[in-house]
Amino acid sequence: MNIVLENIKKRRSIRKYKEIQIESEKIDAIIEAGLYAPSGHNAQPWHFTVLQNKNMIDQISLGTKEALKDCETPIFRRMARNENLHFLYNAPTVIIVSGKNDGAYSMKTDLGAATQNMLLAAESLGVSTCWIGLIVEYFKGEENKKRNEEIGIPEGYEVQYAVTLGYSSLEKTPTSLARKENTVNYIK
């Protein structure tokens, strides 16, 4: 099968990583894939922060737990109160995806395209990933501006997603999840 199609079907979210770091050339290639995503009006409204500082990664997980521990969504509340859960799965590398909304088009959609490009590039290089949305809670709001500055998010950009990256330490690679039925129709 064509390798792009194969990667799309093979990719799964992996939440358990070996402690070894990913080669920097692979990270550069993954970031480049993000940079080459399409964007509305070619706005390229993204910024990528490659985090490999364990203390900072742990702090984002802890801060997310704190932000979600009393939230209204039961599943997030349960996750936040689970002592064993690391919101970034102790990954050796985390890419924080932030964006600037200049009002021209949908920044979040553009960032989603860039994020998916990075997941697929990583898959093609044998690097496992998980797309993370929940860490947004740690960065959002005027009062948390300092947290954005600490990790070099440019002025006016908001954190939207993160991607955890590492080599899987799962014994068995999970297979694709079943797809919902009746989600396509054709008109000729």
Ligand X SMILES: Cc1cc2nc3c(=O)[nH]c(=O)nc-3n(C[C@H](O)[C@H](O)[C@H](O)COP(=O)(O)O)c2cc1C
The residues binding ligand X (CB under 6 A) are 12-13, 15, 130-134, 177
Burial of 186 (0-12, 13-18, 19+ CB in 10 A): exposed
CB of 162 to ligand X, least distance (A): 8
For the chain, the distance separating the N- and C-terminal CA atoms, rounded to the nearest angstrom, is: 27
CB of 115 to ligand X, least distance (A): 8
Between 13 and 144, name the residue whose CB sits nearer to ligand X. 13
Tokens of 41: 């009006």
- What stretch of H or E contains 10? helix 3-10
Between 1 and 24, name the residue whose CB sits nearer to ligand X. 1
Between 52 and 116, name the residue whose CB sits nearer to ligand X. 116
Between 94 and 130, name the residue whose CB sits nearer to ligand X. 130
Between 23 and 78, name the residue whose CB sits nearer to ligand X. 78
What is the phi/psi pair of residue 187, to 5°? -125, 125
Contact predicate 168/18, CB 8 Å: yes
CB of 164 to ligand X, least distance (A): 8
Tokens of 183: 């989600």
CB of 82 to ligand X, least distance (A): 12
Between 30 and 132, name the residue whose CB sits nearer to ligand X. 132
DSSP assignment letter at 13: B
Looking at 11-106, list the stretches that DSSP marks H as alpha helix, in order from N- to C-terminal side.
Answer: 24-35, 54-68, 74-81
CB of 87 to ligand X, least distance (A): 7
CB of 55 to ligand X, least distance (A): 21
Q: Which residue is nearest to ligand X (CB)?
A: 133
Buried-exposed string 139-158: b where 16+ CB fall within 10 A, e elsewhere: beeeeeeebbeebebeeebb
